[in-house]
A and B are shown apart, each in its own frame.
Chain A
């Protein structure tokens, strides 16, 4: 009886264990993320916005540079949103199509946000992980450098850079990328100090794995959870910074535009009953930011189930 059962159990065990690839922590996290309705919906909305910024221009009647001479100066009367004129979102005071300009602005703003965050994440993670893992004097020096850079007012440097070197997207990237990795490196260093004392790091050291490989293979992958969360929260921060700079009139160069620049123009003419000039870019801006924040929230819950 017992022997027969034993064989049965053995069979069962073999069947169970023959299930191919295992479930990684990433897969687990993805499942938890998908269960978060707000985050999943936000991700969907954001993807729609991104898709719109690429596909939407095919449906545009007016390009973002072309001027509708009918609407120049009389945007309040002629340039309202309508399907007949082809200005789906209306025109601005110069007769330019807001629909095309919003698409263009979305591309620029998202690009600045995502590229800026990528730079910050890559530089910040490597810097923070190196500093935290090596420890001792190296750590002290590296972190004091961060402290010094952090004490410089961020906006001030950015504005100065744009004034001195002229307004350009590249300069904007340089300025934002230069400064936004600082927070990242601090967060990552803290996490690294925490990870460093785990036994699997010690195990790797005992095996004889080099410091570089320990950082790349053992520390960074285990940091990615917190990094991913912080990155999604960093993107809206950078978009906001870019918008603020553009709002001040120092951002991207005409005829290119961004959400901030559009909002600025819209808000300047709000007293002439052309509220569409403000509301359309603002809606995109607000919805996207909300999406990023919800996704960040969802990621945090998904990647760190114990923290809730």
Chain B
């Protein structure tokens, strides 16, 4: 597989206007910085895992990339073409190359449509001239691929279990043979045993079809399993970006270190003697983020410099980037 650069995100910022109590029409709205200057590169065939606490901007980042949420500044280069500069109609043409899988499997399927109609929708949208027999063949094909029986084509979403619904969601994302699939916490609503099935299905499909994935999750062990590269987000900032093994074996940012130490080890002896790094305090308000390093309010290593200067994302080793003044 050739590893050409597929997507380049440069300094992407997403801000939301927040109105608080007592605001008048003319009051200047406060800004919530959901994603604050994120840059990364995605090569084809890779799986980028995005992890972070809830509310750290994972989903917003994903939605901003495919301009479902308007970005404040920044560029998203898709094979060299800036997606954010496109208008709605031009963007629509590119949507067939980037598909998405959602968190709640049942809620992401229209309850009034049959499975066949749901899976065929992308096809009908982008290739309206496809014949009925052709559509049916391709729907059946893709259903087989994700492990659904073809004769379920006339069923409705509420007749399926969560895991099956997620397979339907995956089938819908696959039918156009996209280049990139964004998975927004695709397994967090599922049982642990079903999670493994869906993850393995995604990995098999990736191998088979040469997909590139952006995989959002808050479960580190799952991300480790599927990702080649991991991005750790904290309050809309990348704190660490490195290869999967590097993050696990040598986490450099204090936040990542704490996250990794929180992953349970399935061995009670090791688990008991493991030194757990606890992060104290609450997540600061994203409307009024701390000056300098966003993590300094909860960081053990915090010094004066942390409140004065925002640490840049710097290369600590080859393909291992950290945003900390004290990375060692």
Q: How far is the CA of A62 from the CA of B37 in the complex (A)?
A: 85
Residues of B within 8 A of A198 (CB): 107
**Proximity string of chain B (192-223) to chain A, C-beta cutoff 8 Å, 1 when within and 0 when not:** 00000000000000000000000000000000
Residue of B nearest to A221 (CB): B112
Judge if B16 is at the interface, Cβ distance under 8 Å.
no
Closest to B125 in A: A209
- B149 contacts chain A at the CB level, 8 A cutoff: yes
Question: When the two chains form the complex, which single residue of B103, B110, B121, B126 contacts A222, counting CB atoms closer than 8 Å?
Answer: B110
Query: In the complex the two chains form, is B96's CB within 8 Å of A24's CB?
Result: no
Q: Tell me if B95 is interfacial: C-beta within 8 Å of chain A.
A: yes
With A199-B102, A208-B96 as contacts: A17 and B152 at CB distance below 8 Å: yes
Listed residue (A20, A203, A217, A222) with the most chain B CB atoms within 10 angstroms of its CB: A203
Residue in A closest to B109 when the chains form the complex, CB atoms: A200
Stretch in contact with the other chain, from B41-49, B155-163, B287-295: B155-163
Q: Which of A206, A210, A221 contacts B68 (CB 8 A)?
A: A206
Interface pair B108/A200, CB less than 8 Å apart: yes
**Contact, CB under 8 Å: B159 / A203:** no
A167 at the A/B interface (Cβ < 8 Å)?
no
Q: A208-B95, A208-B96, A209-B121 are in contact. Are A25 and B156 (CB under 8 A)?
A: yes
Q: Which residues of B are found within 8 Å of A136, using beta-carbon distances? A: none
* A207 close to B (CB within 8 Å): yes
Q: How far is the CA of A198 from the CA of B105 in the complex (A)?
A: 11
Given A17-B149, A199-B102, A199-B103, A208 contacting B126 (CB threshold 8 A): yes
Contact A204 B68 (CB under 8 A): no
B122: CB under 8 A from chain A? yes
In the complex, which range does the number of interface residues on chain B fall in? 35 or more
Contact with A along B112-137 (1 / 0, CB 8 A): 11110000011001100000000000
Query: In whole angstroms, how far apart are the Cα atoms of A209 and B68 in the complex?
Result: 13
A222 cross-chain contacts in B, Cβ below 8 A: 110-112
Decide: A206 and B158 in contact? CB cutoff 8 A: no
Cβ contacts B67-94/A at 8 Å (1 or 0 each): 0100000000000000000000001110
Q: Closest CB of chain A to B167's CB: distance in Å?
A: 14
Complex Cα–Cα for A213 and B128 (A): 13
A138 is an interface residue with CB less than 8 A from chain B: no
Contacts of A210 in B (CB 8 A): 92, 125
For chain A, give the interface size range.
Answer: 20 to 34
User: What is the distance, in angstroms, from A8's C-beta to the closest C-beta of chain B?
Assistant: 17
Q: For residues 1 through 22 of chain A, which have their beta carbon under 8 Å from a beta carbon of chain B? A: 14, 17-18, 20-22
Q: A135 to nearest B CB, angstroms?
A: 14
B100 proximity list for chain A (CB < 8 A): 203, 206
Contact indicator A22/B125 (Cβ below 8 Å): no
Q: Which listed residue, A18, A20, A202, A206, touches B95 by the CB 8 Å rule?
A: A206
Shortest beta-carbon distance from B197 to chain A in Å: 16
CB contact under 8 A between A202 and B154, given known A208-B126, A209-B121: no
Residues of A within 8 A of B96 (CB): 208
Selected from A22, A199, A208, the residue in CB contact (under 8 A) with B108 is A199
Answer yes or no: B99 CB below 8 A from chain A CBs.
Answer: yes
Task: Answer yes or no: B58 CB below 8 A from chain A CBs.
Answer: no
- Kindly state whether residue A32 has any CB partner on chain B within 8 Å: no
Instruction: State the CA gap A206–B122 with chains docked (Å).
Output: 10
Q: Does B285 contact A (CB under 8 A)?
A: no
Query: For residue B93, which residues in chain A have a CB less than 8 angstroms away from its CB?
Result: 208
- Within the complex, the shortest CB–CB distance from B131 to chain A, in Å, comes to 19
The answer on a CB contact under 8 Å between B121 and A204 is yes
A205 part of interface (Cβ distance < 8 Å): yes
A20, B95: Cα distance in complex, Å:
33
Q: Does B66 contact A (CB under 8 A)?
A: yes
Q: Complex Cα distance A21/B110, Å?
A: 17
Nearest chain B residue, comparing its CB with the CB of A203: B108
The chain B residue sitting closest to A211, CB to CB, is: B88
In the complex, the chain A residue whose C-beta lies closest to that of B91 is A208
| Nearest B residue (CB) for A220 | B112
- B29–chain A nearest beta-carbon distance, Å: 15
Cross-interface CB contact of B156 among A17, A23, A206, A207, cutoff 8 Å: A23
**Cross-interface CB contact of A22 among B95, B114, B149, cutoff 8 Å:** B114
Residues of B within 8 A of A202 (CB): 68, 102, 108
B98 to A, closest residue via Cβ: A206
Closest to A219 in B: B110
Interface residues of A in 197-235 (CB under 8 A from B): 198-200, 202-210, 213, 217-218, 221-222
Given contact pairs A20-B154, A198-B107, A200-B107, A206 touches B112 in the complex (Cβ within 8 A): no
Kindly state whether residue B229 has any CB partner on chain A within 8 Å.
Answer: no
Partner of A25, one of B99, B115, B149, B158: B158
Beta-carbon contact of A18 and B151 below 8 Å: yes
CA distance A20 to B92 in the complex (A): 35
Give the chain B neighbours of A20 by CB distance below 8 A. 151, 154
**Is B104 an interface residue, CB under 8 A from the partner?**
yes
Listed from nearest, the 8 A-B pairs whose CB atoms lie closest are: A22-B155, A208-B95, A199-B108, A221-B112, A21-B154, A199-B107, A206-B100, A208-B92
A22-B114, A25-B112, A208-B91 known, 17 other contacts, Cβ within 8 Å: A17-B152, A22-B155, A24-B114, A24-B156, A200-B108, A200-B111, A203-B100, A206-B66, A206-B68, A206-B99, A207-B95, A207-B121, A208-B95, A209-B121, A221-B110, A221-B112, A222-B110
Can you give 27 A-B contacts (C-beta < 8 A)?
A14-B149, A21-B154, A22-B154, A23-B156, A23-B159, A24-B114, A25-B111, A25-B112, A198-B107, A199-B107, A199-B108, A200-B108, A200-B110, A202-B108, A203-B100, A203-B102, A203-B172, A204-B110, A206-B99, A206-B100, A208-B126, A209-B125, A210-B125, A213-B125, A217-B110, A217-B113, A218-B110
